[in-house]
Amino acid sequence: MADLSGTAEFLPADAARGIGVVAPFDFALDDEYLRWLGPGVGMYATRTPYLDVPVSIEMAEAVSDIDEVVAASRAVREARPAAVVYACTSGSFVAGMAGERALCAAMREAAAAPAVTTSGALLDALAALDVRTVAVATPYDAPVTDRLASFLAEAGHRVAGCAWLGLQADIARVAAPSVRRLVEAADTPEADAVFISCTNLRTFDLLEDLEGELGKPVLSANQVSLWAALRAGGLPAAPVKQRLFQVDTPAGERR
């Protein structure tokens, strides 16, 4: 036996290059997140505790409980992420802009890293693209969709079109043709962009084609989450051709 106590060599503190992801218990799209990450960028994901509730305002309020989000943020702190993202659209808009700011502040302290949320990332993306009027496509029911519209209105954006699927479960299983129809139903000529809500809805393979067909930016919850987190952490993105990733704006947090 050999005792090598005290001889271990360590990498520099900034050698770990990755994004910490705090997601609701039902989040099922880790594989899609990885597709936005540039070479050498890792992902450290954790979930909030399981809840036996349908996708609803009640669920959004529960999964955005500050204490639970702080605990999850601390769970990824050991990985020393370059930034941490709360990957839940409804959980980050359900309490309005004040609630979104509170989540960011709590995560920033708990994870000791720059922090963003999906809904905050959406506002940053709309600003980067100079979008004031947006169409909204969601898998939710009407009450949750209305809460998203209210959040956008509070932030100074006009919602020009809206469509929803009315789902309270199985969002991660929605097929691409249904997402495409949803976006087409939400879009209007007045909208400068379309936003597809929910981090459990697959969108990566649709965005570039939809932007070409509609002639405007098409944003999604997972796309804006990773775009904002990578910017906040100063990390590279994958070479995607989606419009948001072609915008040349300074990295960093909105607040």
Q: Which residues belong to CATH 3.40.50.12500 in the chain?
A: 18-121+223-246, 128-221
How does pLDDT run across 57-71, given as a tens digit for each residue?
999 999 999 999 999
pLDDT confidence band for 6 (50 / 70 / 90) = confident
Q: Is the pTM for the entire model greater than 0.85?
A: yes
Whether residue 194 contacts residue 183, with contact meaning beta carbons closer than 8 Å, is answered with yes
How does pLDDT run across 131-171, given as a tens digit for each residue?
999 999 999 999 999 999 999 999 999 999 999 999 999 99
Pick the CATH number of 128-221 from 3.40.630.190, 3.40.50.720, 3.40.50.12500, 3.30.460.80: 3.40.50.12500
For 18-121+223-246, CATH number?
A: 3.40.50.12500
pLDDT at 248: 72
